[in-house]
Amino acid sequence: MIEAILNELEALKHKFDEQIVAVNSANAVEALRIQYLARKGEFPQYFKKLGEVPAEVRPQLGQKLNELRDYLEAALNAKKELFGQVTRGPKVDLTLSGIPRRLGTRHPLLKTLDEIKSIFIAMGFSVESGPLAENDYYNFEALNIPRNHPSRDMQDTLYLSDPMREEGETYLLRTHTSPVQVRTMLKQKPPIRIIAPGRVFRKDNLDATHSPVFHQIEGLYVDEGVTMGDLKGVLLAYARKLLGRDIKVRFRPSYFPFTEPSAELDVWFPAKNRWMELLGCGMVNPAVFDMLGIDSEKYTGFAFGMGIERVAMTKYAIDDIRYFYDNDVRFLQQF
Ligand code: PHE
């Protein structure tokens, strides 16, 4: 009986030897290990035979079994080292699509500003900027808004206390971008064709339609023979480019100390069934030219100004200005 078992073990070893030379991958090594050494594999069942053979041959069989097990394990381990770890499926699946990366988007305010800018740049305007902390002169005085003029009530101003300021000078956070008009007219002779975008400040409490900090863009065109017709033509072209060719607009008389006559440009919103104010505009008041040393007999001009938040809210149907500043990704990623 022991002879028969030893022969079987010899045959098993022989078969194993033939198989292992053909092995050429980590997966094949693993398959062979399972075939021979797993709990239900071909080899472990022989250990059961230890209990069946006569006691005097038991050590002989035991030793044979141990030897064979060591042999099988060593052969398998050597191959395993050769082929590395078992993988399930190919290591790199080249057919997989890449890991999607979340792309940022431009802020809706910047997007709106870019669009407004490109419309005016295409019409020949260039971009100017100026300081946020202004002197009273540039923000009010030179714009025909003298001290104690009631029109200063139109803008609740954030004044700055500056111990270094000269006698009689008042510093403030600019309430509109119009001081850039003043600065440009002081340093440049007509023809002038500029737009001035930027941050402005008013003493408003934050609510759905007001923010103490918001953005405006201002425009100024000064040359010989500029008329109200030019103003209407340019601003109508702008409104159509921005909101579509079919947009319905109206010019409504208004008042600004630095323009005369002055108007607001309204656009009709069918969805809301009402007019919405888009911008303020007017012919530059000759008094402003006189103050800045531009010959008001020779030159005329028009100016306009608008809130960028308002334009963006109109364009994208946003009903609360606070969304622009919350930086909630769920809001921002819609643009
Ligand atoms: N500066 C004005 C405002 O802030 C807007 C405006 C600019 C009006 C230029 C007319 C001309 O309300």
Percentage of residues in the chain having pLDDT higher than 70: 95
Is the CB of 303 inside a 6 Å radius of any atom of ligand 1? yes
Q: pLDDT confidence of 333, banded at 50, 70, 90?
A: confident
Is the CB of 178 inside a 6 Å radius of any atom of ligand 1? yes
Q: How far is the CA of 176 from the centre of ligand 1 (A)?
A: 7
Residue 108 has pLDDT above 90, yes or no: yes
Is the CB of 119 inside a 6 Å radius of any atom of ligand 1? no
Q: How far is the CA of 319 from the centre of ligand 1 (A)?
A: 23
Q: pLDDT confidence of 163, banded at 50, 70, 90?
A: low
Cβ distance 220 to 301 under 8 Å? Answer: yes
Is the CB of 307 inside a 6 Å radius of any atom of ligand 1? no
CA 202 vs. chain centroid, Å, equals 27
pLDDT for 305 equals: 97
Mutate to test the pocket of ligand 1, among 256, 266, 306, 310 (most ligand atoms within 8 A of CB): 256
Q: Residue count of the chain, please give it.
A: 335
Q: Does domain 108-332 have CATH number 3.30.930.10?
A: yes
Residue 298 has pLDDT above 80, yes or no: yes
Is the CB of 43 inside a 6 Å radius of any atom of ligand 1? no
Q: Strand pairing of 171-173 and 159-160?
A: antiparallel
pLDDT (tens digit per residue) in 172-194: 899 999 999 999 999 999 999 99
Residue 165 has pLDDT above 70, yes or no: no
Element (H, E) at 257: none
Query: CA 83 to CA 32: how far, in whole Å?
Result: 13
Residue 47 has pLDDT above 70, yes or no: yes
Q: Closest Cα partner for 302 from 249, 254, 262, 264?
A: 262
The protein residue with its alpha carbon nearest to ligand 1, atom 6, reads 305
Q: pLDDT confidence of 89, banded at 50, 70, 90?
A: low
Query: CA 73 to CA 97: how far, in whole Å?
Result: 41
Query: CA 276 to CA 191: how far, in whole Å?
Result: 32
pLDDT for 315 equals: 86
Residue with tokens 């490109």: 118
Contacts of residue 16, Cβ cutoff 8 Å, sequence gap at least 6: 32, 36, 72, 75
Query: CA 282 to CA 285: how far, in whole Å?
Result: 8
Is the CB of 256 inside a 6 Å radius of any atom of ligand 1? yes
Is the CB of 157 inside a 6 Å radius of any atom of ligand 1? no
Which atom of ligand 1 sits closest to the CA of residue 262? 10
CA 299 vs. chain centroid, Å, equals 44
Q: How far is the CA of 57 from the centre of ligand 1 (A)?
A: 111
Query: CA 172 to CA 283: how far, in whole Å?
Result: 26
Q: Angle at CA 57, nearest 5°, toward 54 and 61?
A: 115
Q: Angle at CA 287, nearest 5°, toward 283 and 290?
A: 115
Query: CA 216 to CA 303: how far, in whole Å?
Result: 13
Mean pLDDT of 101-127: 93
Q: How far is the CA of 273 from the centre of ligand 1 (A)?
A: 26
Q: How far is the CA of 335 from the centre of ligand 1 (A)?
A: 28
Q: How far is the CA of 309 from the centre of ligand 1 (A)?
A: 15
For the chain, the domains span 2-83, 108-332
